[in-house]
Structure 1
Amino acid sequence: MDEAMWAFGRVSGFMSLALFTVSVLLGILTRSGRPLLVLPRFSVSILHRNIALLATVFLGLHVGSLLLDSFAKLRPVDVVVPFLGSFRPFWQGLGTVALDLVAAVIVTALLRQRIGHRAFKAVHWLTYAVWPVAMAHALGNGTDAAGQWFLLLAAASGAAIAGALLWRLSSTFLETARARGGNLQ
Structure 2
Amino acid sequence: MSSAVWYFSRATGLVSLVLFTSVVVLGALGAGRFATRGWPRFTVAAVHRNLALTSLAFLAVHIASAVLDGYVPLGWFDVVVPFGAGYRPLWVGLGAVAVDLLLAIVVTSLVRTRIPARAWRAVHWLAYLCWPIALVHGFGMAENDSAYGWIVALDALCVLAVAAVAAYRAAHARKFAALGGTR
Same fold (TM over 0.5): yes
Q: Report the Cα distance in structure 2 between the residues aligned to 1:92 and 1:146, rounded to whole angstroms.
A: 21
Q: Report the Cα distance in structure 2 between the residues aligned to 1:139 and 1:15, rounded to whole angstroms.
A: 14
Q: Deviations over 1:141-165 (max 9, x none)?
A: 1253442111111112112211211
Q: Kindly provide the amino acid, as one letter, of the partner of residue 182 in structure 1.
A: G
Q: Which residue of 2 aligns with 1:119?
A: 119
Q: Report the Cα distance in structure 1 between the residues aligned to 2:66 and 2:166, rounded to whole angstroms.
A: 32
Q: How many residues align?
A: 181
Q: Which residue of 1 aligns with 2:60?
A: 60
Q: Report the Cα distance in structure 2 between the residues aligned to 1:7 and 1:173, rounded to whole angstroms.
A: 46
Q: Report the Cα distance in structure 2 between the residues aligned to 1:3 and 1:119, rounded to whole angstroms.
A: 44
Percent identical across equivalent pairs? 43
Q: Kindly provide the amino acid, as one letter, of the partner of residue 162 in structure 1.
A: A
Q: Which runs of 5+ in 1 are unaligned?
A: none
Report the CA distance between 1:136 and its aligned residue.
Answer: 0.3
Q: Kindly provide the amino acid, as one letter, of the partner of residue 38 in structure 2.
A: V
Q: What TM-score, normalized to structure 1?
A: 0.90
Q: Deviations over 1:70-94 (max 9, x none)?
A: 1132111101100111221101111
| Conserved 8 A contact 1:36-1:44 | no
Q: Which residue of 1 aligns with 2:181?
A: 182
Report the CA distance between 1:167 and its aligned residue.
Answer: 2.3
**For 1:29-178, what aligned pairs fall within 5 Å after superposition?**
29-35=29-35, 38-142=38-142, 144-170=145-171, 171-172=173-174, 174=176
Q: Report the Cα distance in structure 2 between the residues aligned to 1:144 and 1:78, rounded to whole angstroms.
A: 23
Q: What TM-score, normalized to structure 2?
A: 0.91
SS at match of 1:39: coil
CA-atom RMSD, angstroms?
2.0
Q: Deviations over 1:107-138 (max 9, x none)?
A: 00011111121111000000000111011000
Q: Deviations over 1:41-77 (max 9, x none)?
A: 1101100011011111111110011111111321111
SS at match of 2:157: helix
Distance 1:145 1:95, change over 3 A: farther
SS at match of 2:145: coil
Q: Report the Cα distance in structure 2 between the residues aligned to 1:158 and 1:74, rounded to whole angstroms.
A: 28
109-118 vs 122-131, which moves further: 109-118
Report the CA distance between 1:166 and its aligned residue.
Answer: 2.4
Q: Kindly provide the amino acid, as one letter, of the partner of residue 103 in structure 2.
A: A
142-151 vs 160-169, which moves further: 142-151
Q: Which residue of 1 aligns with 2:24?
A: 24
| Conserved 8 A contact 1:28-1:164 | yes
